[in-house]
Amino acid sequence: MKQMIIASTSTIHGSTYLAYLTDELTEFFNDIEELIFIPYARPGGISHDDYTATAQKGLNKLGIKVTGLHTFKNPVEAIKNAKAVFTGGGNTFLLVTQLYKHNLIETIREAVVDGVKYLGTSAGSNITGLTMQTTNDMPIIYPPSFKTLSLIPFNLNPHYQDPIEGSTHMGETRETRIKEFHTLNTQPVVGLREGSWLRVTGNEIKLKGELSARIFELGKTPYEIATNTILNFD
């Protein structure tokens, strides 16, 4: 049974790494003593070791030992033997490229379907959808495919931002970009605002956090769903 926390971000304004998720993670990881951290997205180009240290610091309060996937000689076997996996944020193009390079897309998918607990933030959340095509990230590298883990039946736009009233900015809004996506693609897109996350238990996907989420479906006017709503696109 799938057990996942898919979070818009690792850090909200005025807080520390993963702090806003502490209560949720305490319950979610109640039977986990160690997990594998996937540092491939490398925000700002930091090293895998430094990024793993950041994840470890964020999870210290839960008493969980964090080991970077980059330290294993056989990443595929490491994921197969893991009880929990955390994929951090950064650049989704880089993350997906590295996952394909190490033959990990299907491995991670199968592990999570079989019950390995999964935490994703930002780019690590982007990859849980059908494709990575609704990321906000700069295409700094060309991945072999835009197809990702397909663990949820839609795409995500983490860090979703609403238009700022009174702004003189003339560029595209997030809503405009997602509508542009729907001129060529059909899957729904969930705009996750900062401090929001999805809790996945089996086939149930529930929005959590204090804010609503913005939903985009082909041929429909974008609409809001309230926190604690169960997502269903059937």
The residue-averaged pLDDT of 7-28 equals 96
Name the residue among 64, 173, 177, 162 with its Cα closest to residue 117.
64
Q: What is the pLDDT of residue 234?
A: 67
What tokens does 73 get? Answer: 């000689």
Decide the pairing of beta strands 3-7 and 197-201.
antiparallel
In a domain, 231, yes or no: no
The residue-averaged pLDDT of 126-135 equals 98
User: Rounded to two decimals, what is the model's pTM?
Assistant: 0.96
In a domain, 232, yes or no: no
How far apart (Å, rounded) are the C-alpha atoms in residues 111 and 114?
5
DSSP 48-116: HHHHHHHHHHHHGGGT-EEEEGGG-S-HHHHHHT-SEEEE--S-HHHHHHHHHHTT-HHHHHHHHHTT-
Please say whether the beta carbons of 146 and 102 come within 8 A.
Answer: no
Q: What is the pLDDT of residue 226?
A: 98
CB atoms within 10 A of CB 31: 8
The residue-averaged pLDDT of 218-234 equals 93
Q: Domain total for the chain?
A: 1
Q: What is the pLDDT of residues 153-166, one digit of tens each?
A: 999 999 999 877 77
In a domain, 66, yes or no: yes
- Catalytic option among 8, 10, 122, 196: 122
Q: What is the pLDDT of residue 171?
A: 64
How far apart (Å, rounded) are the C-alpha atoms in residues 21 and 124?
15
Q: What is the pLDDT of residues 84-113, one digit of tens each?
A: 999 999 999 999 999 999 999 999 999 999
What tokens does 72 get? Answer: 């294993």
Instruction: Answer yes or no: 212 catalytic.
Output: no
Which amino acid is present at 9?
T
- Catalytic option among 8, 70, 102, 137: 137
CATH for 126: 3.40.50.880
In a domain, 230, yes or no: no
Q: What is the pLDDT of residues 45-65, one digit of tens each?
A: 999 999 999 999 999 999 999
Domain region containing 146: 3-225
Q: What is the pLDDT of residue 103?
A: 98
In a domain, 168, yes or no: yes
The whole-angstrom distance between residue 6's C-alpha and the CA centroid of its chain comes to 5
Q: What is the pLDDT of residue 1?
A: 94
DSSP 161-210: -PPPTT----S--HHHHHHHHTTT--S-EEEEPTT-EEEEETTEEEEESS
Instruction: Answer yes or no: 50 catalytic.
Output: no
Instruction: Answer yes or no: 49 catalytic.
Output: no
Q: What is the pLDDT of residue 29?
A: 98
Q: What is the pLDDT of residue 164?
A: 73
In a domain, 99, yes or no: yes
Q: What is the pLDDT of residue 170?
A: 58
Strand partners, 214: 191, 224
Residue 69, φ and ψ in degrees, nearest 5: -60, -30
- Catalytic option among 70, 102, 159, 196: 159
> Is the pLDDT reported for residue 217 higher than 70?
yes
Using DSSP's 3-state secondary structure scheme, residue 44 falls into helix
The residue-averaged pLDDT of 136-144 equals 97
The residue-averaged pLDDT of 154-181 equals 86
Q: What is the pLDDT of residue 85?
A: 98
In a domain, 109, yes or no: yes
CB atoms within 10 A of CB 116: 21
CB atoms within 10 A of CB 173: 14
